[in-house]
């Protein structure tokens, strides 16, 4: 396999995990009951926003960094992991 094909495959994997993370994040909604504290309300709002928009922001930042450094494959691997971390962070903050 050529380096270009490996890099393209890595970025396709990043786009696939980003798409699934965004769809997963859209399932993060507020529960019917009100939380007991304002802090929990704030965390749920942040978690919902992070779950939906966070993976897209990670990919956009990764593309900019890859274009500036020309390290496309390395940045794709890091972006793949970062999308997962952002999705899990959103899930922890808004578990419902």
pLDDT at 2 over 60: yes
Count of other CB atoms within 10 angstroms of residue 45: 13
pTM for this one? 0.80
pLDDT at 45 over 80: no
> What is the average pLDDT value for the chain, to the nearest integer?
84
pLDDT at 28 over 70: no
Contact 26, 52 (CB under 8 A): yes
pLDDT at 50 over 90: no
pLDDT at 13 over 80: yes
């Amino acid at each position: 396999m050529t380096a270009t094909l490996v890099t393209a495959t890595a970025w396709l994997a990043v786009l696939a995990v980003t798409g699934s993370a965004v769809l997963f994040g859209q399932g993060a909604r507020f529960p019917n009951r009100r939380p007991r504290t304002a802090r929990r309300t704030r965390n749920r709002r942040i978690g919902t926003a992070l779950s939906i928009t966070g993976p897209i922001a990670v990919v956009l930042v990764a593309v900019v960094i890859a274009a500036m450094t020309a390290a496309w494959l390395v940045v794709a691997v890091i972006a793949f992991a970062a999308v997962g971390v952002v999705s899990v962070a959103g899930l922890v903050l808004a578990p419902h």
